[in-house]
Amino acid sequence: MTYEFLQHYWWFVVSLLGALLVFLMFVQGANSMVRSLGWTPEGRRLIVNSTGRKWEFTFTTLVTFGGAFFASFPLFYSTSFGGAYWLWMIILFTFVVQAVSYEFQNKLGNFLGANTFQWCLVLNGILGPLLLGGAVATFFEGSNFVVEKASLTSPLLIEGGGQAISHWANASHGLDALLNPWVLVLGLAVMFLARTLGTLYIINNVNDEDIRSRASVRLLGSAVPFVVLFVAYAVHLLTKDGYGWNIETGAIEVIPHKYLNNFIEMWPLLIMLLAGVGLVLAGIAMEVWRKAGSKGKCQGIWPAGIGTVLTVLALLLCAGWNYTAYYPSTYDIQMSLTIDNSSSSEFTLRTMFYVSLLVPFVLAYIVYCWRKIDSRKIDHEEIAVDEEAY
């Protein structure tokens, strides 16, 4: 195992966690429609308890994603999470609000009322995917940050000056990324994808024909904008210039059609991307055909979910592999981050590699728990007898 192999391996692990996180945001997508899918208090409670079975998976994956990034690529963590802290603080705040909303909406003494906390779930369902999608877009569009590794040996730092290795180049601390229209396009695409997956999940998981019927009607209302926005961003990505680094000098260079070249040169990623997009469309089509009268079960969430993981994984691997700067600096391209100049030491990556061999066992446990939780479709009767229901 060479140092280069370990860097590529850990970018794969981080990318896989990011892809799983995007899939698990079906929780946020379903929550964003809790008021439109559930027209009665009982109906809204069904939806909340359906997503409430899975929200901890999403939150845990988000924390694991951040932790893996911190351990394997600490310079990115300090630059993005430390510099763009307003963006990340808003994201984390919406997820904290989500956790509080689940636990307290039906507790005794809740003077705010269940509706207040359900609106908080709607807020998390919209802002969470939108801002996370925008954060992913900065891997391709860049961010306005400064990296000064020499500051570690600066006399000011040694004397207690408090100078940081990286910082934001303006006072917006990450919110300026939302001024880039392409960041918003991908952010909105992820938001509508989450709503699409959330709709398919509710159809599969909730045993209530009224809610299923409304979800089927609203499916295309989320799927069509997602497809349009995703195709628009994909065309933009494949035709835009990217940033690569010279293996001999380490200098960052502007390379025309860098991401298109990456997919051509790493053709398995292109196959993965096309297969993922095809599975997402197949999952949507399965539900459309089922609603049109053809026989079949409500299983569209599974091909769409697998397709989401494959698509996001291919995009993130394209952003970091093949000598690509995965976090371009719009302040100075030579300060852009790559898996070579931002990773942990070889000892750290090698030690974590052996620890990561336990991941398949953790995933197997998650699958086991998921199957046990979903052994029965949620219905009004289960909520009525379950003392732990939200």
Q: Mean of the pLDDT values across residues 258-287?
A: 95
CA distance 326 to 139: 5
Tell me which of 25-39, 93-107, 340-354 is least confident. Answer: 93-107
CA distance 35 to 58: 21
Which H, E and C letters describe 262-325, residue by residue?
HHHHCHHHHHHHHHHHHHHHHHHHHHHHHHCCCCCCCCCHHHHHHHHHHHHHHHHHHHHCCCEC
CA distance 259 to 214: 39
- The C-alpha R_g of the chain, in whole angstroms, comes to 22
Q: Is the pTM of this model over 0.85?
A: yes
243, β-bridge pairs? 254
Contact in structure between 111 and 14 (CB atoms under 8 Å): no
Q: Mean of the pLDDT values across residues 108-130?
A: 84
pLDDT score for 80: 86
Q: What is the pLDDT of residues 191-246, one digit of tens each?
A: 999 999 999 999 988 888 888 888 888 899 999 999 999 999 999 999 999 999 88
- Asked if residue 275 has pLDDT above 90, the reply is yes
| DSSP element (H, E) containing 147 | strand 145-147
pLDDT score for 117: 85
- Asked if residue 157 has pLDDT above 50, the reply is no
Q: How many CB atoms within 10 Å of residue 317?
A: 26
202: CB partners within 8 A, 6+ apart:
30, 37, 47, 50, 211, 212, 215
- Asked if residue 156 has pLDDT above 50, the reply is no
| DSSP element (H, E) containing 337 | none
Packing angle between helix 114-141 and helix 3-24, nearest 10 degrees?
A: 150
Percent of the chain residues topping a pLDDT of 70:
92
CA distance 331 to 167: 11
208: CB partners within 8 A, 6+ apart:
43, 46, 379, 380
- Asked if residue 160 has pLDDT above 70, the reply is no
Q: Which tokens sit at 88? A: 């990340």
CA dihedral (144, 146, 147, 153) in degrees, to 10, reads -160
CA distance 196 to 288: 12
Going by pLDDT thresholds of 50, 70 and 90, the confidence category of residue 374 is confident
